[in-house]
Structure 1
Amino acid sequence: MEQAQCKRGWSGIWCAAGLIISLMFLAVGPLGAAQVTPSLTAVKVKVPPTLDGRDDDPAWKRVKALEVPIAGGTIGNIKVTLKAVYTVQEIYLLAKWPDKTMTIEHAPWIFTGSAWEYHAEEGPFEDRFAIQWNISVANFPQVGCMILCHAGGAYPDKKPRMHTNAPGEFA
């Protein structure tokens, strides 16, 4: 028996309609499916982790990690591993990433070869990690933390700043 073929007339219209409907379902399937945004889930603990910069505390062992790819910046492309736990009153976050320099202290004093000089606004700077929760910043849900980033052009020292845009905004 030969395969059924679409012919002119009503059968052709039905075949075309069937083809269009099939293509619509294919397009809506994977393309229209909701994107799953990775999220960090905090686990309640009775005993908070010791704040010592290590990840071997029993509180951290119970928590599933979230890996977040980071691109650009002075550190390059890396993955940051995040964990979170909370008690009745506090939340604790653990952020871990590969670090070639282990710069853990701000070094405003630089030895010039003959003397120590104070350089408060120069590096090397300690490793830093920032998290921002929006409380009341206009357009934060649409733009994200970029709404708080201000390129250095507006300041005499040409350094970038992170701050809200109006009185009464909090992040």
Structure 2
Amino acid sequence: MKTPAILLLFLAVLICGNAFMADLATSAAIETLAAAKVPKGPTSLDDPVWQKAKPLDIPFAGKEKFAGKKANVITQAVYTDDEIFFLFKWKDATNSVTKGAWQFDGEKWTHLKGDEDRISLLFEINRINNFATKGCAVTCHGAAGAAVKDFKFATASAGEKGDLWHWKAARSDPYKSADDGWLTAAGEKTGRKDDAGGGGDARNETADKSKPQFMQDPSKKPSAPGVLLAEDTVEITDHGKFKANDTLTYRMPKKPSGSRADIKAESRYADGGWTVMLSRKLDTGNDDDVAFNTKKKYSFALALFDDSMDYDSYDSEALVLEFGR
């Protein structure tokens, strides 16, 4: 018995209608961060100007070693005629800034356990297909059944492009900055690229990787007490001068410059949590950065790292940034 044409038409309309309603529901569920217009930007984490910005409590879901766990980040944003500022607050039981630091036991050097705390944001520069509804999930690419650590962080095509802001407690914060990068289609390993300019970090190790190669230059006052910056170093000529339990930075921050230095940061770890402020010009004039137009809305997503590697993180859903008047 053939199905009447009118019934087929009804079923098609019903299916399409359900799909449309599902898309509408997904769109309606996307949260919006409203940036408040202020005459002057905040100069500190506790600046009263933050009271003008409505907080958004953003939920995060854990993956890999954090699978099944939840987190949240209280987020605010304000902007002036030429700058934008974000404030993030989240709970974190441990202040993680080690990133594999060296420790001497009196006979040999070994790496301490521990990584660093981080928060990252990804904005669209050029449209990334499905990013507006699915967030960073569309930037993970890998073979079926492959371990997540073997996936590539990238866009699906070269025409898609993202702006990656990456605050790192051990490697960027000593310079009061967030590492500025961008995302494109995958190369050999990843689609993640550094913005033009200098920055990042250098590994403090000898050629055989058995011990540190550099120490604080005694003729210089440490630029960031407790952290060995690449520009403050001198080569170690006598490892016999070190005593048991002496420690040295392994991942030495390098001074950012050029487009890679666009994002400024202030941070504080206190009372079991982080407070981090990131700021940048609305339009840097660099093609590796998103140029914010305050008349438009922008899709973005965040990731949170708790003393962990890239594939062990907490991820937000897709979000929208809009500018208030």
TM-score category (smaller protein): 0.5 to 0.7
The structure in which a higher percent of residues are strand is 2
Q: RMSD across aligned C-alpha pairs, in angstroms?
A: 3.4
Runs of at least 5 residues in structure 1 that lack an aligned partner in the other structure: 1-30
Q: Quick check: which has more Rg, 1 or 2?
A: 1
* Identity across matched positions, percent: 33
- Counterpart amino acid of 2:91? P
- Counterpart amino acid of 1:58? P
Partner of 2:115: 125
Partner of 1:67: 57
User: Which residues in structure 2 correspond to 1:1-171 (within 5 Å)?
Assistant: 35=28, 37-50=30-43, 54=45, 56-73=46-63, 74=66, 76-103=69-96, 105=97, 107-111=99-103, 113-114=105-106, 115-117=108-110, 124-134=114-124, 135-150=126-141, 153=146, 158-171=149-162
Residue 89 to residue 117, structure 1, CA distance change in 2 (3 Å):
farther
Conserved? CA contact 1:148–1:165, under 8 Å: yes
In the alignment, the residues of structure 2 paired with residue 102 and residue 77 of structure 1 have an alpha-carbon distance, to the nearest angstrom, of 19
1:39-92 per-position Cα deviation (integer Å, ceiling 9, x unaligned): 1110112221235xx3x1122122110001222244931221000011222211
1:18-57 per-position Cα deviation (integer Å, ceiling 9, x unaligned): xxxxxxxxxxxxx999645431110112221235xx3x11
User: How many residues are paired up?
Assistant: 132
Relative to the length of structure 2, the TM-score reads 0.34
Q: Report how far residue 160 of structure 1 moved.
A: 4.8
In the alignment, the residues of structure 1 paired with residue 147 and residue 157 of structure 2 have an alpha-carbon distance, to the nearest angstrom, of 16
Q: Report how far residue 168 of structure 1 moved.
A: 3.3
In the alignment, the residues of structure 1 paired with residue 105 and residue 116 of structure 2 have an alpha-carbon distance, to the nearest angstrom, of 22
- Counterpart amino acid of 1:164? T
In the alignment, the residues of structure 1 paired with residue 121 and residue 49 of structure 2 have an alpha-carbon distance, to the nearest angstrom, of 21
Runs of at least 5 residues in structure 2 that lack an aligned partner in the other structure: 1-20, 163-325
Relative to the length of structure 1, the TM-score reads 0.60
> Which structure would you say has the larger RCO, counting Cα contacts within 8 Å and 6 or more residues apart?
2
In the alignment, the residues of structure 2 paired with residue 39 and residue 107 of structure 1 have an alpha-carbon distance, to the nearest angstrom, of 34
The structure in which a higher percent of residues are helix is 1
Q: Report how far residue 154 of structure 1 moved.
A: 8.3
Conserved? CA contact 1:60–1:83, under 8 Å: yes
